[in-house]
Amino acid sequence: MHQPEFGDRQAPEVGELTPPTRTLMGPGPSDVHPRVLRAMSTPLVGHLDPSFIEIMDETQELLRYTFRTDNQWTIPVSGTGSASMEAAIGNLVEPGDTMLVPTNGYFGGRMAEMARRAGGDVVEVDAPWGEPLDPVAVQAAFDEHQPDVFGFVHAETSTGVRQPDVPELTSIAHEHDAYVIADCVTSLGGVPLKVDEWDIDAAYSGPQKCLSCPPGASPLTLNDRAMDKVLSREEPARSWYLDLSLLEGYWGEERAYHHTAPITNVYALREALRLVAEKGIESRWARHRETAGALKAGVEAMELEMNADDEYWLPSLNAVRVPEGVDDGAVISDLLEGYDLEIASGLGALEGEIFRIGCMGHSARPENVSLLVSALGQTLAEYGADVAVGAGVEAAAERL
């Protein structure tokens, strides 16, 4: 057999970049707003350029507005949502701390894994996949385990469930002197979230869901109480890159080099947040509720079933039950191939049981909902499902 000599590898012939134009109605990323794309083609400045320092300040101020917080410690973390998630958990959980995590979805499991890697002990509060946490169960878990940190998922992307009763959960945690970390990846900018009013100590998110922005710089906010714990750790956080006591040097008063910020992603996030501020956060929440409400009305009129109860329906992620006998994977690939429309399948306990249909950010538009309802209905009908396509399309149109 011919053994290539060192250095004789040929230059690959790779054509120009021409990805297909998709409509992104899955669990994220969602469609990016054209203004955000334009901001991303703006020339770079250095990450310590005085003009970039101003952009950093503006981005932080816009993030505070969007999170509904006055927290000084509000930054975009370099990396995807998992980076802001690990920054929150890896800094707040110290070796020997106990963290209480939920079992009602995929991302509670990721919280547990990150807490263990931070040297913490993990205890769980149970609820079935597809249901929110019950404050009574959270209270019982606190009484039994006395955790130091409590994490919950405000918008569970794997099940389409919005956690209600957040102030009740945070007050249980604070009565036990614990810190609260909220996963807001699929809620920030899409469904009501009030970090200060709800007394959340640390909240993290991602830009690629309800903010109409590509992944890369991920929102994080911590109040002074949480930051005091981080700054008085006995042992440094295990990740150097995500150590908030070091990142303070860059995002705090000093503005000194820690790592090279993803400048283009910060531009993108700033523009995405400017869009939020221009229309106002409440009107953005309302737009998500109304547009996703039309989507929900459409699928229900087609006689499909939503997986989550109306009471904790999550407008940004609609979990729709796969009709009996239908292969969800085949439907998903037909939608992609035939309509350039992306939706996703269920994860974990809901694999094969649900379609996950996002309605987030720039994807939450009437034309996308019309396309989704008619394309999904027709495709399901082709696979023999008993769906009333016309009634679905009409119901969605009435609401749009």
Ligand X SMILES: Cc1ncc(COP(=O)(O)O)c(C=O)c1O
Hunting for tokens 């878990």 — which residue is that?
Answer: 141
* From candidates 72, 82, 239, 370, binder to ligand X by CB under 6 A: 82
Report if residue 298 touches ligand X, rule: CB under 6 A: no
**CA proximity to 315, closest of 285, 344, 341:** 285
Give CB contacts under 8 A, 24+ apart, made by 17-22: 20/340, 21/340, 22/336, 22/340, 22/341, 22/342
Closer by beta carbon to ligand X, 183 or else 334? 183
The interface mask with ligand X, positions 137-156, x = CB under 6 A, is ----------------x---
Report if residue 90 touches ligand X, rule: CB under 6 A: no
For the CB of residue 105, give the shortest distance to ligand X in the complex, in Å. 8
**CA proximity to 31, closest of 372, 379, 342:** 342
Paired tokens of 26: 């899955």
Which residue type occupies 105? G
* From candidates 206, 219, 298, 377, binder to ligand X by CB under 6 A: 206
Closer by beta carbon to ligand X, 147 or else 215? 215
* From candidates 215, 219, 293, 323, binder to ligand X by CB under 6 A: 215
Q: Is 376:343 a contact under the CB 8 Å cutoff?
A: yes
For the CB of residue 160, give the shortest distance to ligand X in the complex, in Å. 11
Hunting for tokens 């040297």 — which residue is that?
Answer: 119
Report if residue 81 touches ligand X, rule: CB under 6 A: yes
Binding piece for ligand X, criterion CB under 6 A, among 6-14, 76-84, 129-137, 306-314 = 76-84
Report if residue 221 touches ligand X, rule: CB under 6 A: no
**CA proximity to 250, closest of 47, 114, 34:** 47
Closer by beta carbon to ligand X, 142 or else 152? 152
Closer by beta carbon to ligand X, 221 or else 379? 221
Report if residue 26 touches ligand X, rule: CB under 6 A: no
**CA separation for the pair 170, 138 (Å, rounded):** 10
Looking at the DSSP bridge assignments, the partners of residue 204 are: 183, 220
Closer by beta carbon to ligand X, 120 or else 214? 214
Report if residue 132 touches ligand X, rule: CB under 6 A: no
Binding piece for ligand X, criterion CB under 6 A, among 69-77, 180-188, 324-332, 360-368 = 180-188
Binding piece for ligand X, criterion CB under 6 A, among 163-171, 183-191, 343-351, 372-380 = 183-191
What's the CA angle centered on 299, arms 126 and 365, to 5 degrees?
95
- Does an H or E element contain 392, and which? helix 389-399
* From candidates 59, 78, 104, 186, binder to ligand X by CB under 6 A: 186
Those residues with Cβ within 8 angstroms of residue 335's Cβ, 6 or more apart along the chain or in another chain: 341, 342, 343, 375, 376, 379
Return the DSSP state at 313. B
Residues contributing to the site for ligand X (CB under 6 A): 27-28, 80-82, 85, 107, 153, 157, 183, 185-186, 206, 215
